[in-house]
C-alpha cells in the first residue's frame, strides 16, 4: 500500500489522503472517479503481487455529495464493477452519501434504547 502514498487522492488540511486502514478494513479516497479507478488499479495489482485478492462481494463505492442524487461512479476491479451504495457501515459507524449524521444518530439511539430495555 506504500504505492498509494505518492498518488493523488483527496485533499484534507493541505495533505493528500488516499486511504484509511484499520486491520483488514480499507477505505480508498479520491476526489474523482478517474483518480479512484487509478488507486484501485494500484491496490489490486499490489494485492495480486502479494498473493491476495480483493473480495468484490464486500467492496463498494460511495460518492459523498450534497446533491439529491449522487453522481454515478463506475469502478472496476478485474473486469467486475463495484456496487455503488448510498450508505455503508465502516468500523461500526454508518456513513451516508449525503455526509449527514441523522441516520447514525437514530441508529445509536435505537441501540441505546434496546440496551436499556434489556436491563429491566
Q: Which three cell numbers stand for residue 28?
A: 480508498
Q: Are 84 and 72 in contact (CB under 8 A)?
A: yes
Q: Are 29 and 40 in contact (CB under 8 A)?
A: no
Task: Give bridge partners of residue 26 from the DSSP assignment.
Answer: 21
Q: How many percent of the chain have pLDDT more than 70?
A: 93
Q: How far is residue 73's CA from residue 62's CA, in Å, rounded to a whole number?
A: 8
Look up the pTM and report it: 0.76
Q: Are 28 and 35 in contact (CB under 8 A)?
A: no
Per residue in 29-54, pLDDT (tens digit) is 888 899 899 999 999 998 899 899 89
Q: How far is residue 107's CA from residue 46's CA, in Å, rounded to a whole number?
A: 37
Amino acid at each position: 500500500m506504500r504505492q498509494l502514498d505518492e498518488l493523488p487522492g483527496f485533499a484534507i488540511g493541505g495533505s493528500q489522503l488516499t486511504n484509511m486502514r484499520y486491520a483488514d478494513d480499507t477505505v480508498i479516497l479520491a476526489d474523482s472517479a478517474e483518480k479512484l479507478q487509478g488507486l484501485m488499479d494500484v491496490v489490486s495489482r499490489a494485492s495480486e503481487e502479494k498473493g491476495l485478492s480483493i473480495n468484490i462481494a464486500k467492496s463498494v463505492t460511495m460518492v459523498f455529495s450534497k446533491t439529491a442524487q449522487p453522481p454515478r461512479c463506475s469502478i472496476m476491479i478485474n473486469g467486475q464493477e463495484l456496487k455503488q451504495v448510498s450508505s455503508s457501515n465502516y468500523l461500526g459507524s454508518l456513513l451516508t452519501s449525503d455526509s449527514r449524521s441523522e441516520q447514525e444518530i437514530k441508529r445509536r439511539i435505537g441501540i441505546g434504547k434496546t440496551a436499556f430495555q434489556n436491563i429491566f
